[in-house]
Amino acid sequence: MKKTSLFFACISLFLFRCGESVTNSAIISEPIICAQAGVSASSARIVLATYTSSSDDDAVIDIRTVPEAMRFDVTAFTVKAGQQVTINVINTDSQKHNFVLGKIGSLNKIGAAADALAMSNNGAEMEYIPTSSEIIKASSLLNAEEEFTITLTAPMVPGDYPYMCTFPGHWRIMNGMMKVVTE
């Protein structure tokens, strides 16, 4: 098959998958995920956001790092306020990454603290996770193929809660949003 046909086949498959209806209580934000189609297809690797629900009350989200792309494959997901949330962070990249979830509007604040930590002597020792009251949950610094599970009760205050990788230089593009909604 020619490269161009393969490319369009990938795009078609991707759009088809994005068009599937999602009926679970917590949903992946589809428009944002679909917007990644160009990036995924051009590297000839289709990256699909995954979401599985272990019960009606829990949300389980798998978030993988995209190899050599300095980004997470899930850039937004939605949960209900007060819902039990499990986030499985899977580092499928060869480079180290972490996962830090922050309070509403905290992306730049945590990012600035991460930048400062990167310049200090103990960044590596602290796994590049800055000390900040803006951080809700954080993984350890994950090696290649390493996984880390974060569990939390979704905040009761609806809004957009950013997550990011605070490894030096990553947070500005390696980030996403946990959207908390009330019914």
Query: Shortest gap between Cβ of 159 and Cu ion (angstroms)?
Result: 24
Task: State which residue, 63 or 165, has the beta carbon closest to Cu ion.
Answer: 165
Query: Shortest gap between Cβ of 70 and Cu ion (angstroms)?
Result: 6
Task: State which residue, 25 or 95, has the beta carbon closest to Cu ion.
Answer: 95
CA distances from 159 to 2, 22, 44, 69, 72 (A): 45, 21, 35, 27, 20
First-to-final CA distance of the chain: 48
Instruction: Compute the distance between CA of residue 179 and CA of residue 177 in angstroms, rounded to an integer.
Output: 6
Query: Shortest gap between Cβ of 89 and Cu ion (angstroms)?
Result: 11
Kind of pairing, strands 58-66 and 76-80?
unpaired
Task: Give the residues lining the site for Cu ion (CB under 5 A).
Answer: 97, 165, 167, 170, 174
Q: Which residue is nearest to Cu ion (CB)?
A: 165
C-alpha closest to that of 100 among 115, 89, 112, 91: 89
Query: Shortest gap between Cβ of 72 and Cu ion (angstroms)?
Result: 9
Q: What's the CA angle centered on 100, arms 94 and 104, to 5 degrees?
A: 145
Task: State which residue, 107 or 180, has the beta carbon closest to Cu ion.
Answer: 107
């990036």: which residue's tokens?
Answer: 39
Task: State which residue, 107 or 165, has the beta carbon closest to Cu ion.
Answer: 165
Query: Shortest gap between Cβ of 174 and Cu ion (angstroms)?
Result: 5
Instruction: Compute the distance between CA of residue 139 and CA of residue 72 in angstroms, rounded to an integer.
Output: 14
Task: State which residue, 33 or 63, has the beta carbon closest to Cu ion.
Answer: 63
